[in-house]
């Protein structure tokens, strides 16, 4: 399966996509916790309000009251008190454990970088890989966490009993088929994410409108 060719066809369909949100690792973690459900509508609302009303520096977040942060987090969706608490946890960890410079820690050995990121609320393997890729720290084969099935349907990797095993199989497919550099892998991430949201939905995929259905094992089997 020529993944690069399929991505080119998706690129013609969706156009040139740009990452949303910040590109600093600390700010990416804040951004991910500023909306719930976390998406490109809720997260920007909470993040932009936090930036404007409190500031993003760890000291500014730690100095803000829980009530103030919760009021801001309401702009980004539900459970605002929990997300306000998480913001303080994130800020405190960056300040106290990483001396205010999370980016410096991520430049070390990859296992240690992943371990550091996964200490933060809501950050698992997929989010850690995305941060390392989108900050251009490591050209990892990151896969959109909610859209691993897109690759599986194409016959790239396999769905497994455990999510983590299925995620790794999709990662392996990207690793084997795309150049080991950040730009093509960021492009792949954005296109796979957009395709999973718009057409290749987990439930009721819109296969007749799909620009790559002719090469899709799932669609050919469904026919």
pLDDT tens per residue, range 90-101 = 999 999 999 999
Per the prediction, the chain carries an average pLDDT of 96
117 and 146, same domain (yes or no): no
90 and 153, same domain (yes or no): no
Residue 52: per-residue pLDDT:
98
Domain count, the chain: 2
Comparing 222 with 189, the larger pLDDT belongs to: 189
Per the document, the length of the chain is 223
128 and 82, same domain (yes or no): yes
pLDDT tier at 76, thresholds 50, 70, 90: very high
Which CATH number do you get for residue 213? 1.10.1670.10
Flag whether pLDDT at 1 surpasses 80: no
CA dist 156 and 29 (Å) reads 29
71 and 122, same domain (yes or no): yes
73 and 167, same domain (yes or no): no
Q: What is the pTM of this model?
A: 0.94
Residue 67: per-residue pLDDT:
98
Flag whether pLDDT at 54 surpasses 90: yes
User: In this structure, what token pair is assigned to residue 214?
Assistant: 């002719």
75 and 164, same domain (yes or no): no
Flag whether pLDDT at 28 surpasses 90: yes
106 and 157, same domain (yes or no): no
Residue 29: per-residue pLDDT:
98
pLDDT tier at 223, thresholds 50, 70, 90: confident
What 3-state class would DSSP assign to 77? strand
pLDDT tens per residue, range 90-129 = 999 999 999 999 999 999 999 999 999 999 999 999 999 9
pLDDT tier at 41, thresholds 50, 70, 90: very high
97 and 51, same domain (yes or no): yes
58 and 150, same domain (yes or no): no
119 and 167, same domain (yes or no): no
Domain boundary among 103, 134, 165: 134
pLDDT tens per residue, range 131-159 = 999 999 999 999 999 999 999 999 999 98
66 and 12, same domain (yes or no): no
**What is the extent of the structural domain holding 31?**
25-134
The dihedral built from the CA positions of residue 208, 4, 183 and 124, taken in this order, carries a sign that is: positive
Flag whether pLDDT at 7 surpasses 90: yes
Average pLDDT over residues 69-79: 97
Domain boundary among 88, 111, 134: 134
| Residue 41 buriedness (CB in 10 A; 0-12 / 13-18 / 19+) | exposed
User: In this structure, what token pair is assigned to residue 10?
Assistant: 């998706």
Q: Are 128 and 167 in contact (CB under 8 A)?
A: no
45 and 108, same domain (yes or no): yes
Which CATH number do you get for residue 110? 1.10.340.30
């Amino acid at each position: 399966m020529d993944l690069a060719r399929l991505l080119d066809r998706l690129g013609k369909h969706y156009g040139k996509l740009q990452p949303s949100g910040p590109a600093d690792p600390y700010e990416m973690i804040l951004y991910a916790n500023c909306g719930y459900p976390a998406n490109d509508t809720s997260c920007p609302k909470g993040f932009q309000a936090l930036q404007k009303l409190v500031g993003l520096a760890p000291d500014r977040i730690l100095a803000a009251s829980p009530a103030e942060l919760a009021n801001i987090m309401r702009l980004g969706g539900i459970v605002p008190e929990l997300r306000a608490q998480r913001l303080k946890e994130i800020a405190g960890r960056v300040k106290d454990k990483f001396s205010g410079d999370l980016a410096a820690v991520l430049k070390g050995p990859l296992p240690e970088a992943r371990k550091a990121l996964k200490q933060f609320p809501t950050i698992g393997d997929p989010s850690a890989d995305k941060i390392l890729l989108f900050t251009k720290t490591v050209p990892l084969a990151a896969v959109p966490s909610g859209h691993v099935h897109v690759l599986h349907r194409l016959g790239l990797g396999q769905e497994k009993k455990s999510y983590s095993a299925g995620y790794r199989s999709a990662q392996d497919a990207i690793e084997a088929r795309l150049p080991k550099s950040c730009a093509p892998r960021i492009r792949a991430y954005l296109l796979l994410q957009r395709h999973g949201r718009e057409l290749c939905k987990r439930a009721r995929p819109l296969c007749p409108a799909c620009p790559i259905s002719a090469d899709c094992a799932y669609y050919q089997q469904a026919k």
